[in-house]
Structure 1
Amino acid sequence: MAERLRLFNPGALVWLGVAALAALLSALALGRSFSADPALDAIIRLDGVAPRILVSILAGAALGFSGALLQRVLRNPLAEPATLGIASGAQLALVLATIHAPLWLATGREAIAATGGLAAVALVLALTWRRGLEPVSVVLAGMMVTLIAGAIAAAAILADGRYMMSLFIWGGGSLAQQSWGPAMGLALRLGLAIIAGALLVRPLTLFALDDGAARSLGLSLTRVRLAAVAVAAGLAASVVSEVGVIGFVGLAAPALARAAGARSPAGQLVWSPVIGAVLLWATDGAVMLLEARGIAGLPTGAATALLGGPLLLWLLPRLRMIERPPMRDRTARDLHHPRPRLALAGLFLLALVLVLAGLTLGRGPQGLHLATGTLFADLLPWRLPRVMVAAAAGAMLAAAGTVMQRVTANPLASPDVLGVGRGQGWGWPWCCSASTCPRPVPGLPAPRRGLPRCSPSSWRSPAARVSVPNGCCSPASPPRRSPMRCWWR
């Protein structure tokens, strides 16, 4: 009763206000005119807008419930489907199935997504089990699994060209609907997960104790952990299979439920889905309002990421971190190779083989082909710069990672993990689309020879346009909005 009273506080009133705002945005979306034909408007509202609203509520509730289970059973306030790699694993499985076994999606899409999500979280747990599932170790391992799965999925999509680019939109968490089927499926799976969570409430209560005390009371920690993780991973995978990856809702909802006064497992499992549903409902309502204003194409999953970043910064100082290791180089003692010269010689030979393959191997009409003689001489000016740039980039990233690991005493520190690459990738499109100067922006690379050919004067010169084969200034792809788009492509 005390917890129920604590929930009726100003924070709860705030969430009632957010829910009212979400309802208002949904009413505006339902009242919007989509076409001049009233019959077509009715069809779009009935089979498009209304199912989307329900899917946003159900998906938010499912992610909030999944995050609450994971955070309680792993004793980790940063655990959620996105940070543990479940969402990325499910997305990778669906991408690979779409490319290599599309017939499986007709009958087993849920099973494929669940398999990928469970495989990802099993890998994270295996990597951190010896550390006792320490919170920071779990998050770092989940981040690495997420990066690897996301990179493989992106490479698989890009390898098939423009025919698979719609997977990028789906992977960003698009809630656009065309029928009531996904909403009904999510409702059924959420109901089953809630029943399973109700059966786990009593065991989850004992997770407030340490492992020894919980075992002395007869609790099998391994079984309860595996059961809770399986329920959470299956529920998150079902959301990914229907609407794509939506991050940070599973992280934010349990944290906000605890801030509202929910302390017991039962309270968190009740209020986390409610807050998650309100969060995603309001976010998708704002996205639909932007679409009505002419800003189309923004996935709801991308909008929810704006919420997760500040919340992560708020949660990190409140984590019980592991003791920081002393500032010394442990690599020489812990990872010493018995024959370092032999290992270096093997790596050098492997690098030499890869360089030669990159310079001479290619695909032709009859399959793989080895370039020799005149063909090799013709290909060398095109392939050698690319190989040299790749080698230089790898050396620079290795040097940056070495400095970061020594300074932070963190063996997992690297430019991508610390957000350097993501930050530059975020700033690059903004700079290229906003600038109208044909000269290079300081800090951004530009081809020395290609940029002058893409100057505004060259656009008016047919000879200059033809001199750039398949380039942005060629007649096949004329400049669109900004000259900066020429040289960064």
Structure 2
Amino acid sequence: MSQLSAPVRSGSATQPTPTGPLAPTRVVTAFVVATALLLVVTAVHLTQGTSTVGALDLLRLLTGSDDEAARVLVASRIPRMLAGLAVGVALGFAGAALQSLARNPLASPDTLAVNAGAHLAIVGVAAFGISLPALPAGGLAFCGGLVAAGLVMALATGGQAATTRLILAGSATALALNSFTMLLMLLFEQATIGLFAWGNGSLVQADLTAFTQLAPVIGIAVALLVALGHRMDVLALGDDTATVLGLDVRRTRLVVILLAVLLSAAAVTLAGPIGFVGLCAPVIVRLLGRMVPGVHRHRVLLPLSGIVGVLIVLGSDVLLRAVLGGQAGVDVPTGVVTTLFGAVLMVWLARRYRDAGPTRRPPGGHAAVRSRSFHLGVVATAAAVTVGAVVLGMLAGDTWVLLGDVVNWVQGRTGPAYTFVLDQRWPRVAAALLAGAALAVAGTTVQAVCRNPLAEPGILGITGGAGIGAVALLTFVPLAGVAAISGAAGLGALLAFALVYGLARYGGLSSDRLVLIGFGVWQGGTAVITFIIVTSDPWNTGKALTWLSGSTYGRTGPQVLPVAIALLLSIPAVVAARRELDLLSLDDDTPRVLGVRLERTRLLALGAAALLTSTAVSAVGVIGFVGLVAPHAARALVGGRHSRVLPVAVLLGAALVSLADTLGRTVIAPAQVPAGLVTAMIGTPYFVWLLWRSRGAATGPR
């Protein structure tokens, strides 16, 4: 059995030790087969495009008799093919190096947020109207990717403590960086026009300039990684063993990280962040270990991963244009296809995953025991803060009003101007308030059921499914009513939840597996949303970006109603199940001993979370971190009992989203920052602190 599909034990590497026997004949055969496939895919790739030049025209070009075919090749197809070749090699090598370094099969430029950091750096420059050549842009992307990777690796204790921890640290960091990127794209929409599609990985090239500047950088980095192959083999034996054998572990790690980030940054500069190639290529090569002994040696693994990376990139591009036509290669980013492929592979890996890492512990395990009077004081304070947030939300905006104006408006005695302002404002305040409360309750139940203090509804794929439903309806039925949008978002969320839950039940429900599968479904959902946007209206992404960033703009009273109904239905049920949630957060055995029907309780709790999340998404769009921050803050204040956590979490979640919405529509008025981006900016530092605080548990004995 491949180690990738075997149970992962704490402290062990997640790939076979690269010191096994080498079968030269089989290794050579593997390279020959991979190279032959590469030549076939490349030849097919050159025959596709928007022009009428086909395979026969290209054959006639060999005799020098077709000038039109030559022009098409030089102007469009060869630059696109070479870009795919360079990106595939760069990401294949980078992914293999990062997985070996972290000893984690799910480490990659995506899960370590390298691509997100590089993407933010490039968009940040473009937003201010600065146009850089390929090499300076690549240097900037390298700095952004290096900072992001360093942060994630530090938070995940080098990536070796637990795969779930690595994914959570990387996804949170990437979410925060992507939030800043989306904010820049919204605020500077004209300067960043067209970057939405590029931001999902597009091979479209105007000429060979970028390739000719970045290809030497990629070539040098690839050669250096191959030269370091023997040192990486020794490093894979473990830090202690490598040190005994005379290897400078720290220097080797630093050099490999720098080279991997440099390759990722070059790929992002050339074609944008093409997702999951760095994850899929090394995994596919490692799965050949039983048929090709010695493939795990890095001087074999790295080049094969580079070839497979090219096959994934160019093969995805060929598949895209074969199914949807030549124009789809221009409109639809290749990264959408690779992300879908990577999401499927990640789900497949997660179904074979066995781990009980340090993140899998009762979420209230470190909460202090508080007295009843202290609890009541916290509830009263949280209620006062929430009321204050609502009042501030009604007063603040591009037009400020006085408290007396609000009182007169309630009594129906304001003039037309203030009446119009407050009639437009109260649905936004109500939507933020109720959505925050709904996400807080959902996050509390998800963390209890998963026994994972770092989980939240978004990473379980629920918001991705809701996003697909709502964006699809907004795109294909622009005049759809409020009820239809809410229904589509709810249906998408419930289907995504059913998919994640059903896949995670394989071999017994595991909280780690649930998170990993949910992450894969979330990424796949994001790719589908991107596909819908770029194929329907690629030059008007502001509408979808605003909704995906979580905004209360244009909300009406009927749009708030589903959230209120979901809260009225779910909160009593969750409160009634508070004892069961307390028991579920401990372990699997205690609830069974005490008569709790484990599977039914889990299903009902997660179903309530899905219902609450779907209605919140339908009302305000995708808002992250609320379901993570509010329950944690509540447990830190009042302890781990859900009878105390739930009311405080509801109030804190409502206040957080309400304040975020108010801040977003007043700081740069009349322009607005979506509430979801503000909560990401607030929630990310808290999440980073939470991960950093728990590093001791990750490095300690299990």
TM-score (norm. length: structure 1): 0.79
Letter in 1 for 2:306: P
Q: 1:357 to 1:100 in 2, by over 3 A?
A: farther
Q: Distance in 1 between matches of 2:469 and 2:34?
A: 34
Q: Displacement, 1:97? A: 2.0
SS in 2 for 1:362: coil
Moved more, 429-438 or 130-139: 429-438
Match of 1:285 in 2: 318
How many pairs were matched up? 442
Match of 1:27 in 2: 47
SS in 1 for 2:448: helix
> Which string of whole-angstrom CA distances, capped at 9 and with x for unpartnered residues, describes residues 23-52 of structure 1?
223234497349xxx977754431222111
Q: 1:210 to 1:250 in 2, by over 3 A?
A: same
Letter in 2 for 1:69: A
Residue 444 (str. 1) matches residue 488 (str. 2): yes
- Determine if contact 1:360/1:371 at 8 Å carries over to the other structure: yes
Q: Distance in 2 between matches of 1:488 and 1:403?
A: 21
Q: Distance in 2 between matches of 1:211 and 1:91?
A: 33
Q: 1:159 to 1:358 in 2, by over 3 A?
A: farther
Q: Distance in 2 between matches of 1:256 and 1:24?
A: 22
Q: Displacement, 1:143? A: 1.2
> Which string of whole-angstrom CA distances, capped at 9 and with x for unpartnered residues, describes residues 214-244 of structure 1?
2222333332222211111111011112211
Residue 272 (str. 1) matches residue 305 (str. 2): yes
Q: Displacement, 1:347? A: 5.4
Gaps of 5+ in 1: 364-368, 447-469, 472-486
Residue 383 (str. 1) matches residue 403 (str. 2): no
Residue 304 (str. 1) matches residue 332 (str. 2): no
Q: Displacement, 1:59? A: 0.6
Letter in 2 for 1:401: G
Residue 6 (str. 1) matches residue 26 (str. 2): yes
Q: Displacement, 1:330? A: 4.2
Quote the sequence identity (%). 29
Letter in 2 for 1:404: V
SS in 1 for 2:458: coil
Question: Which of residues 260, 270, 274 in structure 2 aligns to 1:246?
Answer: 274
Question: Which of residues 133, 150, 166 in structure 1 aligns to 2:194?
Answer: 166
SS in 2 for 1:183: helix
Q: Distance in 2 between matches of 1:50 and 1:361?
A: 55
Moved more, 148-157 or 123-132: 123-132
Residue 315 (str. 1) matches residue 349 (str. 2): yes
Match of 2:505 in 1: none
Q: Distance in 2 between matches of 1:178 and 1:420?
A: 38
Alignment of 1:118-129 (within 5 A): 118-129=146-157
- Determine if contact 1:97/1:105 at 8 Å carries over to the other structure: no
Q: 1:383 to 1:141 in 2, by over 3 A?
A: same
Alignment of 1:312-351 (within 5 A): 312-319=346-353, 321-323=355-357, 329-331=362-364, 333-334=366-367, 351=386
Superposition CA RMSD, Å = 3.5
Q: Distance in 1 between matches of 2:41 and 2:69?
A: 24
- Determine if contact 1:86/1:121 at 8 Å carries over to the other structure: yes
Match of 1:451 in 2: none
- Determine if contact 2:42/2:81 at 8 Å carries over to the other structure: no
Q: Distance in 1 between matches of 2:258 and 2:165?
A: 20
Q: 1:99 to 1:105 in 2, by over 3 A?
A: farther
Q: 1:56 to 1:142 in 2, by over 3 A?
A: same
Q: Distance in 2 between matches of 1:406 and 1:198?
A: 46
Gaps of 5+ in 2: 1-20, 55-65, 406-414, 491-552, 555-618, 622-702
Alignment of 1:33-182 (within 5 A): 33=53, 42-100=70-128, 102=130, 108-129=136-157, 132-161=160-189, 163-182=191-210
Match of 1:403 in 2: 445
SS in 2 for 1:179: coil
SS in 1 for 2:252: helix
Q: Distance in 2 between matches of 1:114 and 1:194?
A: 16
Moved more, 24-33 or 218-227: 24-33
Moved more, 306-315 or 195-204: 195-204
TM-score (norm. length: structure 2): 0.57
Q: Distance in 1 between matches of 2:314 and 2:296?
A: 24
Q: Distance in 2 between matches of 1:95 and 1:348?
A: 40
Q: 1:128 to 1:45 in 2, by over 3 A?
A: same
